[in-house]
Amino acid sequence: MLKIVAIDPGVTTGWAVGVIDDEGYMKTRCGQYDFSHVSIYDFLKGNHPDIIICESFEFRKLQQGVNFYPVEMIGVINYFVQEQNRISKTRQITLHMQPPATQGDKAYWTNEKLKDANVYQVGKEHGRSATKHLLYWYQFGSGFQYNKKGFGPWENT
Positive/negative CA dihedral, 81, 85, 87, 88:
positive
Spatial distance between the Cα atoms of 35 and 11, rounded to a whole number of angstroms? 7
Question: Going by C-beta distance under 8 Å and a sequence separation of 6 or more, which residues neighbour residue 149?
Answer: 23, 24, 25
Q: What is the pTM of this model?
A: 0.90
Q: Set out the domains of the chain in order of their start, with CATH numbers.
A: 2-153 (3.30.420.10)
pLDDT in tens, the chain (157 residues): 999 999 999 999 999 999 999 888 899 999 999 999 999 999 999 999 999 999 998 776 666 677 889 999 999 999 999 999 999 888 899 999 998 888 777 788 888 888 988 888 888 999 999 999 999 999 888 888 888 877 777 654 4
Q: Would you say 117 and 139 are in contact if contact means Cβ atoms under 8 Å apart?
A: no
Amino acid (one-letter) located at 10: G
Question: Going by C-beta distance under 8 Å and a sequence separation of 6 or more, which residues neighbour residue 99?
Answer: 55, 56, 58
- Beta strands 13-20; 2-8: pairing state: antiparallel
